[in-house]
Amino acid sequence: MKKLAIYIPSIESGGVEKNLLYISEFFLRKKINIYIVTANKNKRSFFNSRIKYICPATDRWNNSSRLFKTLICLTLIIFKLPKKNVSLFSFQSNISAIILSKILGIKIVIRLNTALTKYINGFFKIILFKVFYRMSDKIIVNSLKFKKELKNLLNLNSNYIPNPINLKKKFQKKKISYFKNFKGLKILSIGRLTDQKNQITILKSLKILKEKKIDFKFFLIGQGYKLQELKNYVINNKLMNNVKFAGYKKNAFQYMRSSDLFILSSKFEGLPNVLIEAQSQNVPIISSDCATGPSEILLNGRLGNLFKVEDYISLSKTIINFYENKNSLLNKAKLGKKYLYRYDYNKNLIKYYKLVEKVI
């Protein structure tokens, strides 16, 4: 039986991990032996028991740096992964996976999750990534803009497969108690509290709303190393009565129907699942026009409003416009649901399977 080792040194709590779960279980149903190689022992319960989970024997590395987790996983592949008839499917730290695959003489597919502008800046890095990415057997990207960026920057071809989102799965809608009996503007954002997600831009825009006497509440779902910095901003700008830090929520998109407005403020993305999930719930969207994904999901502003990355003044104006006249953005939200077919769960998983099958 064919064997596929999915290489993901750090399993966190975002869209990449959702895609990992969907893809691994679909491949398992296709009679492929699946191994997941990771440094996160604590995530074992998330996966089907028939998936072979290769991880350290201890939980002590769960919160280590991505670099250290990568070194651990390279060791796990060398000493614990069966090498006969196995191929690699890399979700993270792709260069390290490519190098090891060439040393071991096994084939490799890499999946790029985040815009190249995050980590490729300068001539040396362009050459470095071009040389190593070219060594992979297949490259997968999840947005058309990402595909174009890869071609323009590194002159590499790739296979475009949108994220498979299981929007037909039934779930229990959950109300946000923080919004209960509140008649003002209810704003929601979901994402890890990191520099990439850039929630400080939202808070800066909300400070302007407060100065203009607009009645609002903001519910922020997520956890991360920026939490204290964001809390300090809220305290220093007297936003305590307007902002709620909700922490991590499993299946967070179940809370979307309680809100009037969803905001994404990222500096860069791949194809953010959270925007697609907001579309599925008919929630009006305002998003940063970051590379890559949001403009593609929102059809360059036809299905939601876009603002320049980190431009909190523009964001505040867009929120105020929505507060004063909701119709335009509500109509865009209704239209958005017609375009969800692009992220069809089964269709895109089949695309993944057909492409990977050619390699393994």
Q: Which two tokens stand for residue 157?
A: 């071809």
Q: pLDDT for 134-150, tens place per residue? A: 999 999 999 999 999 99
Which CATH fold would you assign to the domain 177-342? Answer: Rossmann fold (3.40.50)
> 115: pLDDT confidence band, cut at 50, 70 and 90?
confident
Q: What is the pLDDT of residue 327?
A: 95
> Architecture of domain 3-164+344-359 in CATH?
3-Layer(aba) Sandwich (3.40)
pTM metric for this prediction: 0.91
SS (H, E, C) the chain: CCEEEEECCCCCCCHHHHHHHHHHHHHHHCCCEEEEECCCHHHHHHCCCCCEEECCCCCCCCCCCHHHHHHHHHHHHHHHCCCCCEEEEECCCHHHHHHHHHHHCCCEEEECCCCHHHCCCCHHHHHHHHHHHCCCCEEEECCHHHHHHHHHHHCCCCEECCCCECCCCCCCCCCCHHHCCCCCEEEEEECCCCCCCCCHHHHHHHHHHHHCCCCEEEEEEECCCCHHHHHHHHHHCCCCCCEEEEECCCCHHHHHHHCCEEEECCCECCCCHHHHHHHHCCCCEEEECCECCHHHHCHHHCCCEEECCCCHHHHHHHHHHHHHCCHHHHHHHHHHHHHHHHHEHHHHHHHHHHHHHHHC
Rounded to an integer, the average pLDDT of 307-328 is 97
C-alpha dihedral over 267, 273, 279, 280, to 10 degrees?
Answer: -170
| Residue count (the chain) | 360
- pLDDT at position 163 is 92
pLDDT at position 62 over 70: yes
- Residue 165 Cα distances to 18, 81, 106, 181, 275, angstroms: 9, 30, 30, 32, 11
Q: What pLDDT is stored for residue 171 in this prediction? A: 66
Tell me the C-alpha distance between 25 and 34, whole Å: 9
| Among the listed residues 186, 185, 187, the one whose alpha carbon sits nearest the alpha carbon of residue 202 | 187
Kindly report, as residue ranges, where domains of CATH 3.40.50.2000 are found in the chain: 3-164+344-359, 177-342
Look up residue 323 and give its two tokens: 């507060």
Return the percentage of the chain with pLDDT > 70, whole number.
99
In the block, tokens 């614990």 appear at 80
For residue 199, the model assigns a pLDDT of 98
